[in-house]
Chain A
């Protein structure tokens, strides 16, 4: 390389050739560039490693997909290349390189000075100076062989090598180990609860359940706001009901989003779809279909075509007590049978006596029992509901029926004095209010048909007026009596209060206070009695009856005057008279209706009174119902099993419980004089008590009204039969279906009923006895029990009052 001529050089003086120096410099430059590239790449590696770390993190959290991530990683690697190239490409001055060589080779700046002088960087007009510069250049060229380029530009480890290695290690750790893979695939973890009956709502708990379905973000659920739109626009929801009550949820739950391309199926495959009520990223609310087969199965969610799950699930029977609530009522079959029998009896009596309130009550209790059987309600709730139903039944009941009957009798006595109203009066005296109602209707009819003469009408009016007046007087008298009693009690209370204040001794004060409390209680009772009487439906009806009679009498008494006028007045007055007559008739009809109401209420109360024993038993049975998970729900002595065993044996069977099911028995009975009653066999009469029986001897004890066919067989009573002791023993071992046992049962039951009626026994004792007799009730019992009259299953016999 030739140094260019510069203005400072002498004329004709060419600069010496510096190419050897520049060759050395070029060699050193290459080495320097290499080193710089290494340094630059190392430094850039730190940045690249940090960038790669960020990219790996973004890939892991799926902010960028894998392909884009790989591209970014390649870009991160490119940073290293860029760093190397950038560093190597940086300009390195020749003088700088030459100086490095000078230093490393102890050349006393010969090369750098030569380079500087060859560039003409030292202005001078002196020739000798230029000659010296050229000499210096030549000296530099001569020094080239001594130049140690390798020493001047040694390759060394980059300064940032450790940092770069550290970053690379951290990045590698982060990529390989440090950050766990974020799993965003949809998963199902569990179903809550893991069992459910048909119609129940269950929740599938999972994660990322919105992934992979169409427009997951655009169709987010709109739960929690009543005014929010259901589902998402353009995405049909599976469920159509706007509000779906869920167990344990007090308010309505808004149905949420149900994606169009997702579903939940029951069991294997996609055939049995489940109704989806709500679909969210972490849970799916479904409803078990009604036809779901009972037993273990699976639930699988389908997102698009992808199956998620399955989760194990058990479809249970609603009646299976194992799956009832922890505090639900547990009714063992015998209790349930006993309660059913009681209810059937109540219903039968209510129907017979035409007491719809009682029938409603029975139905209400039946519903409560069903709920209890399904484990829906707790024992407290059951008793509370029963108390409420009873209170409703006894609402507005007459507190003193005798007093009312007396009033009716006095009314009837008054009416009996006239020939026209004698049947009515007699009916009221009995009292036979049904007949009284009919008699009143007859009188009204006679008025309508103008069958009564004026005189008869006047007489009827007088009688009715007298009767109404008598009734009013009686009521006023009673009211007066009540007021007097009340006044007296209040006066006494005031007197005693004063006395209490003036008491001189503590004893006196206590005695006075005791008396005072007693009087207050009496006053309270008096007020309550008065209030009950005021609210009594019968008394209200009786008051209306009195008013109707009085009005009818009034209407009828006006008639003669109007008739007098009729001769003189126009046709219009005729019409008025007819209207008066019709009004009187109408009032009599109203009176008849009120009499009917009194009769109805009276009958209701009578029936209630008759059924009081059954109601008491009902209460006791429910009170004794066990609570699942509670102390009384345990059966440490296996009593339930014993009872079941007894029930099986009592019905003449030791077989499997399946035999209890209705219509299962297929084999003919083997016994002679057999007690098989539900089998389809053809038993033949024998000389002895049979020992064989149909497998399905009595059917399911809890489903007495099942599709079974009762066959009634008359056993022959002969010398072969044993005495009472043997009969009972045989019945206990082989069943209660024999004719002889029925007789023994009836005898004993009657004695017990008499004792229970006459003796004062705690209700719980009575319950035990009654339940016992219900258990040992003859299996073929027929007309002996009240319940059987309506085809009811064997149950507790009605009280002796029922027979009346």
Chain B
């Protein structure tokens, strides 16, 4: 009897945990939506990156609210926020900080002056305009969660979330991110131009004297808790197998590769992409109020998780094939088990 009661209590506990996770995320999404009109998919993707412990690469034309999104996100989770506008003359020290000479009681000493990277949420605007050296400085921080200056390593505060943007139009004088660095982004989100209704709403909200002010709905610690829960969401072997087969199908040399993969792909997605898919799927399952990942979750997150990890060959580039089309075909072709 006691055991049954214990079991019931445990069950109630885990279900309430998941329910609160879902509710928090929903509140967070709602709060962000007060500032960002439309772009639900982008909001969800950004939240997934945040909860998955990764970073997001946003691609879109200027003026679509990318900075607003990051700022709003920072405010809703009560986190620090920095913004770096990447330019070709931007140096790594401009990002991570540098040692400066200071006098204290007559003694001169080097004192580390933190750069803008020391924030919970960092917006790296037009990251492809910086030189690779500067980009690599940021990317080290993204992967390690720490920066090293003058042999001194400084841990970044958790959660640390980078949201980099790229402008797909102005490619002249840019330094496209190498594949290895792109792989470090959890998602690549493509910001679409808002629809008519969304534009109306944007105008209504931004051209009047009543500007909405986002409120903090959760704090940073809650984000970290939620991250822990995400990683504990179970995954059936069959579904995991499906995800593996999806990723393998992007590799042109793999037997399960689709026709277009074989024809237009040079390299398929990396294992890191597979990790991103699974983590994102778990988050989506929780978002949906479920306790385990479904194949639909995999399908849902496959495109943002893989699109920047797949490298087209010359033929694919020449014909303007989009990786999303390849991914869509792969998802269609891969058996569910």
Contact = CB atoms under 8 A, between A and B. Distances in A.
Partners in one complex: yes
Interface of A: 12-14, 95-96, 99, 102-103, 108-110, 112-113, 116-117, 121-122, 124, 126, 128-136, 138-139
Give the top 3 A-B pairs by smallest Cβ distance, nearest first: A109-B294, A136-B292, A116-B236
Interface string B5-23: 0110011011100100000
A103 B337 CA distance: 12
A184 to B, nearest CB: 58
A135 B14 contact: yes
B239 interface: yes
Nearest to B240: A122
A136 B294 CA distance: 11
27 contacts: A13-B10, A14-B3, A14-B7, A96-B337, A99-B336, A102-B294, A109-B292, A110-B292, A112-B236, A113-B236, A113-B292, A121-B236, A122-B234, A122-B235, A128-B229, A129-B234, A131-B11, A131-B13, A131-B14, A132-B14, A132-B233, A132-B291, A133-B291, A135-B11, A135-B15, A135-B291, A138-B11
Most buried by B among A14, A113, A138: A113
B288 interface: yes
B105 to A, nearest CB: 52
B292 A132 contact: yes
Contacts of A135: 11, 14-15, 18, 291
Most buried by A among B238, B290, B292: B292
B232 A129 contact: yes
Contacts of B77: none
A121 B295 CA distance: 17
B291 A139 contact: yes
A133 B235 CA distance: 8
B296 interface: yes
A13 B4 CA distance: 9
Contact of A113 (B3, B6, B229, B294): B294
Nearest to A114: B292
Interface in B256-313: 288, 290-297
Contacts of A99: 238, 336-337
A117 B236 CA distance: 7
Contacts of B14: 128, 131-132, 134-135
A178 B189 CA distance: 70
A110 B290 contact: yes
A122 B296 contact: no
B210 interface: no
Contacts of A136: 234, 290-292
B167 to A, nearest CB: 37
B234 to A, nearest CB: 5
Nearest to B228: A128
A18 to B, nearest CB: 14
B196 interface: no
Nearest to B337: A99
A109 B237 contact: no
Contacts of A113: 236, 239, 292-294
Contacts of B7: 12-14
B206 to A, nearest CB: 37
Nearest to B229: A128
Nearest to A143: B290
Q: How many B residues are at the interface, by size bracket? A: 20 to 34
A126 B232 contact: yes
Contacts of B233: 129, 132
B6 A133 contact: no
A41 to B, nearest CB: 27
A737 B292 CA distance: 143
A314 B180 CA distance: 112
Interface string B184-196: 0000000000000
Given A116-B237, A129-B233, 9 more contacts: A108-B290, A108-B294, A108-B296, A116-B236, A132-B233, A134-B11, A135-B14, A135-B15, A136-B290
B176 to A, nearest CB: 38
Contacts of A117: 234, 236, 292
A631 B15 CA distance: 125
A134 B14 CA distance: 9
Contacts of A129: 232-234
A132 B296 contact: no
A122 to B, nearest CB: 5
Interface in B1-46: 3, 6-7, 10-11, 13-15, 18
A99 B336 CA distance: 9
A117 B290 CA distance: 14
B21 to A, nearest CB: 11
Nearest to B282: A132
Contact of B295 (A12, A109, A133, A138): A109
Contacts of B336: 99, 103
A506 B15 CA distance: 150
A113 B298 CA distance: 14
Contacts of A96: 337
B233 to A, nearest CB: 6
Contacts of A131: 10-11, 13-14
A132 B11 contact: no
Contacts of A116: 236-238
Contacts of B291: 132-133, 135-136, 139
Contacts of A109: 236, 239, 292-296
Contacts of B237: 116, 121-122
B290 A128 contact: no
Contacts of B18: 132, 135
Most buried by A among B234, B288, B295, B336: B234
A14 B233 CA distance: 19
Contacts of A132: 14, 18, 232-234, 291-292
B337 to A, nearest CB: 6
A122 B6 CA distance: 23
A122 B232 contact: no
A103 B336 CA distance: 10
A618 to B, nearest CB: 108
A139 B14 CA distance: 12
Nearest to A13: B7
Nearest to A106: B296
Contacts of A124: 234
Given A109-B236, A117-B236, A139 B290 contact: yes
Nearest to A95: B238
B175 to A, nearest CB: 42
A392 B290 CA distance: 132
A72 B296 CA distance: 53
A135 B290 CA distance: 9
A124 B292 CA distance: 14
A134 B3 CA distance: 15
A115 to B, nearest CB: 9
Contacts of A12: 3, 6-7
Most buried by B among A12, A103, A128, A134: A128
Nearest to B234: A133
Most buried by A among B15, B237, B290: B290
Contacts of B3: 12, 14
Interface string B216-243: 0000000000000100111111110000
A463 B29 CA distance: 178
Contacts of A138: 11
A131 B7 CA distance: 9
A112 B235 CA distance: 11
Most buried by A among B6, B14, B232, B236: B236
A185 B239 CA distance: 72
B333 to A, nearest CB: 16
Contacts of A139: 290-292
B291 to A, nearest CB: 4
Contacts of A13: 7, 10
A112 B11 contact: no
Contacts of A133: 234, 291-292
A112 B239 CA distance: 10
Nearest to B288: A108
A459 to B, nearest CB: 145
